[in-house]
Amino acid sequence: MVHDPNGKDCRLVGDILARVGDKWSMLVVMTLLEAPLHFNELKRAIRGVSQQMLSRNLRALERDGLVERTVHVGVPVRVEYALSDLGRSLAGPVQALGAWAARARPAIEASRTAFDREHDAQ
């Protein structure tokens, strides 16, 4: 069977996987799964993320309908980010992957060190 990443069906799946794979998106989703947050709360909750990247990620997630953005007018302005139903439905599969990663971690680390030893000694 031939797999074509540009085939119409696989196209958006690849998109999703890329989204899931990028450095911050799933961290955002997992954080918002616990509770809706304001921008800077989110920034503090996700240690190490820059404003830039957080902003970009939130935009992208909002565009895809995974995150809902609500502006509360006032002084100062407050913007609340919350997962949509679609976003919440993503949490299951992602957590499954996370659980797999946790289980597989020892095996992967062992395999890596073994592989590296063989190749460094060469």
Partner DNA sequence: CGGCATCCGGAGGGATACTG
Partner DNA sequence: CAGTATCCCTCCGGATGCCG
Tally of CB atoms within 10 A around 51: 10
The whole-angstrom distance between residue 18's C-alpha and the CA centroid of its chain comes to 9
Residue 83 forms beta bridges with which residues? 67
Residue from 40, 44, 70, 117 binding its own copies (CB under 8 A): 44
Residue 70 binds to DNA (criterion: CB under 7 A): no
Preceding peptide of 106 cis, ω within 30°: no
If one asks whether residue 77 binds its own copies (CB under 8 A), the answer comes out as no
List of residues contacting its own copies (CB under 8 A): 1-7, 9, 12-24, 26-27, 30-31, 34, 44-48, 62-66, 86, 89-90, 92-94, 96-102, 104-105, 107-112, 115-116
